[in-house]
Amino acid sequence: MQLHRVSSTLNKRTAKNVILFLGDGMSITTLAATRVYLGQKYGHMGEELKLSFEAFPYTGLAKTYCVDHNVADSACSGTAYLTGVKANSGTVGLSAAVKRGDCDGQRGGIHAVTGLIDWAQKAGKATGVVTTTRVTHATPAASYAHSADRRWEADTDLPPNSRCEDIALQLIRGRVGSQIDVVMGGGRKNFLSRTLKDSQGNPGYRTDSLDLIKEWQLNKKSRGGTPKYIYNRTQLLTLDFRAYDSVLGLFASDHLPYHLEATEDVPVLSEMTQRAIQMLSANKNGFFLFVEGGRIDTAHHETKARKALDETAELAKAVEAAIKMVNPEETLIIVTSDHSHTMTYSGYSKRGTDILGFTNRLNASDNLPYTTLSYANGPGYKPHEKFQRHNLMMDDMNNPDFTYPSLVPISRETHGGEDVAVFAKGPWSHLFTGNYEQNFIPHAIAFAACIGPGYTSCKL
């Protein structure tokens, strides 16, 4: 029996700070496999290990479906766990009154829903968004934008003659987006005109001739702020945060590269998280920080399990780094996922067997080996050869780009529909136990932090 469970008391203090970590596509299967991956990396068998957040005292399960789909995408789920409202697939920051692609439904703000970032800002707290994807991608976008289509990241993506605002524009000009103090991730191209090139010589993607990075700087200065735009790891690590009150860090033209492929010019998730906490902690009223490990999801879509597990391990490192920087008595930390994936973990291998390799029991009935990890669908499908399953012994499974076997051929592996885990530590973390709808999460956070228009712990 774990003694802390016997002796622990409920923390009912107001959460001054809140950090919400989101592993995009981080299924429970992904967690189990990552334990082994990480453990074996350091000479252990692996199964007995816990990721940093798996040691949190309270856990629960969240149901992830959209209003109109039984398997969620990152847009409808992001709207749920960031605003408290279930939405339709493919839509960001809008109620289910708006179907995907309905520009008229987006305009006017009638169906717009705001959530944790907005509530924290109105309570006088500092706010931040950190991600390893484009900062305009569906998950981070749900924290500040309202879009009838998650793909409308830049004006170039909008339908012809559309009068809707793209997501990048909403980050710079929107009421919520423009007030975020720290934004870090990728996606520079969505902020620059095609006539401009970024710091690495990559052309912009916009067709409206705007330089939204420069506009962000001018807007912040016009409000009396001291903003700083950065675009590489050295700038991040050497930045004197005491000299600035807001930071925009765009470290790649598109998504940040996978950790296994990143150069020294690109910061890792834990570094961005640490720097964000440093800056946001200067606010005497506390802060709300949203951190996404977004490339877990993209790796799963490619059925590249090695990369997916490594990105999950990076998220765990970021959580561990955050824990060391905050007061656990006044900081609520939540770690969860938006949806699962179709990766399975099977066979009857002996302890110590390479999680990314073959099972070490008998071959399948066709006398060929099979992998411990595989997918229900995706690009890893390989056609039978002479009426026999593809022999995986012929492949280089140590290559990070090896696509793990899939049952159904499809160019991009799909999400899964099962519940995802929720881990909680800090004030009112006991609220996050049990099984609940995904859109319960932000309401419970708001209750603990005394933010938002609803019932809070300060009104008890």
Burial class (CB in 10 A: 0-12, 13-18, 19+), 378: buried
Q: Which residues pair with 375 in a beta bridge?
A: 343, 406
- Do 4 and 424 meet the contact criterion of CB atoms below 8 Å apart? no
Q: Which residues are annotated as a binding site?
A: 24, 137, 139, 292, 297, 301, 338-339, 415
Residue 406 scores a pLDDT above 50: yes
Q: Phi, psi at residue 185, to the nearest 5°?
A: 165, -150
Per-residue pLDDT, averaged over 344-365, amounts to: 91
Place of tokens 């707290």: 125
Crossing angle of helices 74-83 and 440-449, in 10° steps, is: 30
Alpha-carbon distance 56 to 368, whole Å? 41
Alpha-carbon distance 5 to 159, whole Å? 55
Q: Which residues are annotated as a binding site for Zn(2+)?
A: 24, 297, 301, 338-339, 415
pLDDT tens digit string along 145-176?
A: 999 999 999 999 999 999 999 999 999 999 99
Alpha-carbon distance 160 to 173, whole Å? 22
Identify the active-site residue in 52, 74, 147, 253. Answer: 74
Residue 108 scores a pLDDT above 90: no
Domain 16-342+421-459 sits in CATH 3.40.720.10: yes
Chain centroid to Cα 438, Å, comes to 15
Alpha-carbon distance 135 to 153, whole Å? 9
Alpha-carbon distance 231 to 188, whole Å? 9
* Residues contacting residue 282 through CB under 8 Å, at least 6 positions apart: 126, 241, 242
Residue 1 scores a pLDDT above 50: no
> What pLDDT is recorded for position 363?
79
Per-residue pLDDT, averaged over 337-366, amounts to: 92
**7: confidence class by pLDDT, cuts 50, 70, 90:** low
pLDDT tens digit string along 70-99?
A: 999 999 999 999 999 999 999 999 999 999
> What pLDDT is recorded for position 4?
57
From-to residues of CATH 3.40.720.10 in the chain: 16-342+421-459
pLDDT tens digit string along 41-66?
A: 988 988 999 999 999 999 999 999 99
Residue 341 scores a pLDDT above 90: yes
More confident residue, 5 or 39: 39
Q: Which residues are annotated as a binding site for Mg(2+)?
A: 24, 137, 139, 292
Residue 361 scores a pLDDT above 80: no
pLDDT tens digit string along 412-439?
A: 999 999 999 999 999 999 999 999 999 9
What are the tokens at 236?
A: 């991040």
> What pLDDT is recorded for position 460?
74
Alpha-carbon distance 50 to 35, whole Å? 6
Ranges assigned E (strand) in 135-234: 182-186, 227-230
> What pLDDT is recorded for position 252?
97
Residue 177 scores a pLDDT above 90: yes
> What pLDDT is recorded for position 2?
57
**268: confidence class by pLDDT, cuts 50, 70, 90:** very high
Residue 393 scores a pLDDT above 60: yes
> What pLDDT is recorded for position 5?
63
Q: Which residues pair with 23 in a beta bridge?
A: 293, 337
Per-residue pLDDT, averaged over 230-248, amounts to: 96
Alpha-carbon distance 259 to 240, whole Å? 25
Residue 365 scores a pLDDT above 90: no
3-class SS letters over 285-326: CCEEEEEEECHHHHHHHCCCHHHHHHHHHHHHHHHHHHHCCC
Across all residues in the chain, what is the average pLDDT? 96
Closest CA to 141 of 105, 162, 115, 110: 115
Residue 16 scores a pLDDT above 90: yes
Least confident interval from 33-37, 44-48, 408-412, 451-455: 44-48
Q: Is 74 tagged catalytic?
A: yes
- Do 441 and 336 meet the contact criterion of CB atoms below 8 Å apart? yes
What percent of the chain clears pLDDT 90, i.e. is strictly above it? Answer: 92
> What pLDDT is recorded for position 459?
81
